[in-house]
Amino acid sequence: MAHVITDSCVACGTCLPVCPVEAISEGDIYKIDPDTCIDCGSCAEVCPSGAIIAG
């Protein structure tokens, strides 16, 4: 299952550099491409607002 970014996202950008497959795209609320995500959980581990959860 791909991880997802919830409405708690503050668009801080902390998750972007840790994604090994560049599945995260920027915006008001960041998004994870479920077809690209490999479910490694790196983004969820570094998210300061706890906005990234297992999908």
In total, how many domains does the chain have?
1
Provide the CATH number for the domain around residue 31.
Answer: 3.30.70.20
Tell which residue, 40, 24, 36, 30, has the closest CA to residue 6. 30
Model confidence pTM above 0.85:
yes
- For residues 55 and 34, give the distance between their C-alpha atoms in angstroms, rounded to a whole number: 9
**Domain boundaries, position 41:** 1-55
Average confidence (pLDDT) per 10 residues, the chain, 55 residues: 94 97 95 96 97 94
Q: Is residue 11 within 8 Å of residue 28, measured between CB atoms?
A: yes
